[in-house]
Amino acid sequence: MTLSALNADVIVDQLNAGEVTATDCVQHFLDRIQVHNAELNAFIRVSESALEQAQAIDQRRKAGESLGCLAGLPIAIKDGICVSGQPTTAGSKMLENFSPPYDATIVERLKSADAIIIGKTNMDEFAMGSSTENSFFGPTNNPWATNRVPGGSSGGSAACVAARLAPVAIGSDTGGSIRQPASFCGITGLKPTYGRVSRYGLIAFASSLDQIGPMTRTAKESALLMSVIAGFDPRDSTSSKEQVSDFLTGLETPLAGLRIGVCRDHLNEGLDVEVKTKINDAISVFKQLGANIEEIELPQTKSAIAAYYIIAPCEASSNLARYDGVRYTFRAQANDLEEMYRNTRGQGFGDEVKQRIMLGTYALSSGYYEAYYLKASKVRRMIKQDYDEAFKKVDLILGPTTPTPAFKLGQHTRDPLAMYLADIYTVSANLAGIPAISVPVEPSSTGLPIGLQLQGRAFEENTLLRAAHQFQNETLWHTASPSEPWRTQS
């Protein structure tokens, strides 16, 4: 069995046992990137030092030195996360030549665990999008059907894991940007509790919503990565001091007595018929595993998309004000300062980013703040209260990750409302700050992946990972791989 067919935890075991070298492991995945990335465009760039890092780890292992728990494992990083000395663009022309002088905290922790950063993955510009069609570096194609989107904004990370171009990847999630592409690409994606994983070194979209998390084939692999990247960081003012446990502990604990809530409103109007059928089939699996299924209500989630698409653009408008051509960004030619500002932002930002900046600036402007941002903030609080009430009755909440399987490239580019509705089931978790995970269920009749979402109480990722792992022990949908060479679909 080739390395690309193995899960990350198995690869780590083989590396530790000396059955494979870090150099051979990294070379295997670099070779796959060389063969397949031109068609998929999952990676924006590949690390020039990955093999050198692998050789150093092999030498340390041979010398009997102590190594980290991920020693020799290749990991792909979304290009909105800073890696020292490597260009970090957030998928934008504005940062085309930006090379950060420091590592994001999660990159520091991965390097301390002796993981090898193999490359930076494609994304919607500044994480604004649900399809990875908004990247300055061109769209990423879904390996299950190359004329379909991989989801977004972490579409490059999802596609590279699905296509086995890297064992695991790191993404970021502002309104579903880990879970939605995980659903479209048939992998596992975890959005941790807000504050559980440091945001230091993440290029901000919406600071009160952004969260970094793992994108893997299995829940067990996500638990392995979370054990490395989670924990308090004094450099992040929103980082939580909540105690971090071993996320691998308890994965095998049976689900007998676990209370899982299902909101029937999420399984009705607007949901693809096949998605509904597969989610109901998955509910039956959880029943067989001993979980108790209960109906719940989340009345305010119907307003989540509206609230999200006011709050997120408002925060983006503030965060992206720093990109003006003065210091470290792209700078357009101009005759005076005002013209430089205007030309730089006009040429450096793509259409979707400019649209959201304008929406956010308008909603924050005098005379409109109370009508829009303040009202959206009140709705956000009500959504959080709905979850608080639901979690008094149940331990987890189950539903679809996305309303449809992956849609075609270009299908929604002229219909922003249809594009935004792709996040209808995911944005609530970001607004409430709770953890959520997407795992594959039985695919559609056309072979396109479908995802199931589980949401949990704040800082109870262990329960999410346990339930997802037990489901994956009982099913095989997470083991499916897209065919090579990649196919298209009518």
Answer whether 173's CB lies under 8 Å from 153's CB. no
Q: Would you state the pLDDT for residue 490? A: 65
Q: Would you state the pLDDT for residue 212? A: 98
Concatenate the DSSP letters of all residues of 185-250 into one string.
Answer: HT-EEEEPPTTTB--TTBPPS-TTT-EEEEEESSHHHHHHHHHHHBS--TT-TT---PPP--TTTT
Strand 259-263 relative to strand 211-216: parallel, antiparallel, unpaired? unpaired
Answer whether 125's CB lies under 8 Å from 134's CB. yes
Low-confidence ranges of the chain (pLDDT < 70): 1, 490
Burial 158-181 (b: 16+ CB within 10 A, else e): bbbbbbbbbbbbbbbbbbbbbbbb
Q: How far apart are alpha carbons 92 and 129 in whole angstroms?
A: 13
Known active-site residue 49: no
Answer whether 222's CB lies under 8 Å from 437's CB. yes
- Please report, for the chain, the start and end positions of each structural domain, with discontinuous segments joined by +: 3-259+434-479
Q: Would you state the pLDDT for residue 7? A: 97
Options 47, 78, 222, 240, the catalytic residue: 78
Options 153, 227, 239, 428, the catalytic residue: 153
Options 154, 157, 172, 177, the catalytic residue: 177
Q: Which of 140, 198, 195, 136 is nearest to 165 (CA)?
A: 140
Concatenate the DSSP letters of all residues of 314-338 into one string.
Answer: HHHHHHGGG-SSSSSS-----SSHH
Q: Would you state the pLDDT for residue 459? A: 98
- 485 upstream amide cis, omega within 30 of 0: yes
CATH 3.90.1300.10 fits 3-259+434-479, yes or no: yes
Q: Which of 159, 152, 191, 206 is nearest to 43 (CA)?
A: 159
Known active-site residue 444: no
117-157, pLDDT tens digit by residue?
999 999 999 999 999 999 999 999 999 999 999 999 999 99
Known active-site residue 302: no
Q: How far apart are alpha carbons 319 and 315 in whole angstroms?
A: 6
